[in-house]
A and B are shown apart, each in its own frame.
Chain A
Amino acid sequence: MSNDQLHPVQTPGAETGTDRRLLLLSDKDNVLVACRQIEAQESVTIEGQAVLMSTTLLLGHKVARRGIEPGEKIMKYGAPIGSATQQITAGEPVHVHNMKSDYTRTHTIDKSAVRVAR
């Protein structure tokens, strides 16, 4: 498989009825990638369905293109990038809180020690 197939950077939108800020990288994918930040409480269209964004979606982050079952592979670039750890609904952000690597654990910093300015 060549990278041309892997990384089409498709023009989103019209035909699929999906918000232009959400990229579909491969037809096999069950996630879309934000190419612009999308604010919380915004209504976005995903494959013709209106979805209310529960949180702000930052540039480069993912949302579910459709409902995903626990244990189901998360597909991006047409390839599996891990598995869902819980039920994910269409439009819901997909990240370390609801998916995991099928290889090695993903390390994140424990930010509980951060002092909050008063």
Chain B
Amino acid sequence: MSTSNELTGFLRSDGRKGIRNIVAVAYLVECAHHVAREIVTDFRGREVHLIGFPGCFPNDYAQNMMERLCTHPNVGAVLLLSLGCESFNKYSLSRCIEDSGRPVKTLTIQANGGTLSTIREGSDWVSQQLDVLAKAERVPMGIDELIIGTICGGSDGTSGLTGNPAAGRAFDQLVQAGAACIFEETGELIGCEEIMAERAVTPELGDELRAAVAKAASYYATLGYGSFAPGNADGGLSSIEEKSMGAYAKSGSSRIAGIIKPGDIPPRGGLYLMDVVPDGEVRFGFPNISDNAEIVELIASGCHATFFVTGRGSVSGSAISPVIKICANPDTYRKLAEDMDVNAGSILEGEATLEAVAADIMRVLAATVRGEQTASEKLGHREFILTYKSFEPIGPACLPSVVSAW
């Protein structure tokens, strides 16, 4: 018998457990987006999420991301929408999903009689899958089976004082309990490379951490802009280093166990940095064009849920994995309370401590894992974005614990 405080999830064939049981509807080129969206619209309020890749031309990163997303433990079944002439390899994606034990169906619009007949057939299939998934039972799940990500968006001068350090304390507790935690956006760690490197479990990993931030600094220097939006300045942040110092606090104070790239699953519990800046010469534009691109990458690396710290007031959620919104700014919280899960701004008004807010975050996370909807889930937020990138595999120094186990 499970107790009410026990964490539960859906067991998948690879041994991972999901905290949601979603039907993902994925378009494999922008030309199939409308048909996919129409199918999803038929299931408003249900666990049917729209994801996809808009490009017509091939990209190994996008292919890998879609494979990881479609076999994410929160996903129970997948419908693929192809126009028919795009480069995306729907055959290998479908095979990968099938091999994971999930129901998968591909509808090719050019071969299926066009828009309306494809929508009809897709809706019927999704409907059947929802009936099957509704019968799935949750099983007990340990904290050490969780992967949790953290990002900040719409940061201001309060983010680094309240929300980010509180999220960092929650991360410390999760890592202590054996969970894998991922922080990211190397472009928002510029200026923190030395203090971060000191936390690496090996000196070689420390060098890799420095190199990852140096890569980000150089990439952004070529682009001419940092990862810094006008609202950041309106909120009191004056430079990327200042934003970075605040963002860095989300990582907490655990030792850093490794570096991963988008789509790499952490091999075990511990704290990981995700290197999100592409390798090689600058191609395809900005590394992550908005907050949701980062959230999608965290999910592709297995995140069951993401802590999202905001000062200015983001309302974003995400497809596939719930977003837990932590509001750093008390004025913003008052304005956007319906969009927030945790009020960290109360610290500035002397009504809470970092420890109390961290405990709130942990409480909301436990409820979310057990199936309770977060604010953005209730409001129907299902943002998703995936664009072109290119990466080299991580080097041997990036995951010291794995190397030492060999």
Binding site for B on A (CB under 8 A): 1-4, 6-7, 9, 23, 25, 33-36, 58-62, 74, 76-77, 79-82, 94-96, 99-109
Partner of B195 from the list A1, A25, A74, A105 (CB cut-off 8 Å) is A1
Residue pair A9, B157 in contact (C-beta under 8 Å): no
Q: Whose C-beta in chain B lies nearest to the C-beta of A6?
A: B249
Residue pair A61, B195 in contact (C-beta under 8 Å): no
Q: Known: A7-B161, A35-B161. Is A94-B220 also a contact (CB below 8 A)?
A: no
Within 8 A of A (CB), among B177-208: 190-192, 195, 198
Bound CA–CA A28/B179 (angstroms): 35
How many residues from B make CB contacts under 8 Å with A?
46
> Secondary structure at chain B's binding surface: helix, strand, loop or mixed?
loop
Residue pair A60, B239 in contact (C-beta under 8 Å): no
Q: Known: A6-B249, A95-B236, A109-B230. Is A60-B329 also a contact (CB below 8 A)?
A: yes
Partner of B158 from the list A59, A80, A102 (CB cut-off 8 Å) is A59
Q: Known: A3-B249, A62-B157, A94-B238. Is A103-B165 also a contact (CB below 8 A)?
A: no
On chain A, the residues within 8 Å of B311 by CB distance are 60
Min CB gap B395→A, angstroms: 24
Min CB gap A109→B, angstroms: 4
Bound CA–CA A15/B330 (angstroms): 26
Residue pair A82, B161 in contact (C-beta under 8 Å): no
Min CB gap B173→A, angstroms: 13
Min CB gap B352→A, angstroms: 11
Bound CA–CA A64/B228 (angstroms): 23
Min CB gap B217→A, angstroms: 6
Q: Is B379 an interface residue (CB 8 A)?
A: no
Q: Whose C-beta in chain A lies nearest to the C-beta of B172?
A: A3
Interface string of B222-240 (1 = CB under 8 A from A): 0011101110010111111
Residue pair B233, A95 in contact (C-beta under 8 Å): yes
Q: Whose C-beta in chain B lies nearest to the C-beta of A33?
A: B157
Partner of A96 from the list B158, B238, B348 (CB cut-off 8 Å) is B238
Partner of B249 from the list A7, A82, A106 (CB cut-off 8 Å) is A7
Q: Whose C-beta in chain A lies nearest to the C-beta of B166?
A: A7
Q: Known: A59-B331, A106-B228. Is A101-B161 also a contact (CB below 8 A)?
A: no
Residue pair A107, B228 in contact (C-beta under 8 Å): yes
Bound CA–CA A76/B230 (angstroms): 20
Q: Known: A60-B161, A60-B311. Is A106-B198 also a contact (CB below 8 A)?
A: no
On chain B, the residues within 8 Å of A34 by CB distance are 157, 236
Q: Whose C-beta in chain A lies nearest to the C-beta of B353?
A: A9
Given A2-B253, A103-B241, output 18 extra A-B contacts at Cβ < 8 Å: A6-B245, A6-B249, A7-B161, A7-B354, A36-B348, A58-B236, A60-B158, A62-B157, A77-B246, A79-B192, A79-B245, A81-B242, A101-B226, A102-B239, A103-B217, A103-B221, A104-B226, A108-B230
Residue pair A81, B252 in contact (C-beta under 8 Å): no
Bound CA–CA A80/B230 (angstroms): 21
Q: Known: A1-B198, A81-B238. Is A23-B220 also a contact (CB below 8 A)?
A: no
On chain A, the residues within 8 Å of B385 by CB distance are none
Q: Known: A9-B354, A95-B238. Is A106-B161 also a contact (CB below 8 A)?
A: no
Bound CA–CA A9/B347 (angstroms): 9
Bound CA–CA A7/B240 (angstroms): 18
Residue pair B238, A99 in contact (C-beta under 8 Å): yes
Residue pair A101, B236 in contact (C-beta under 8 Å): no
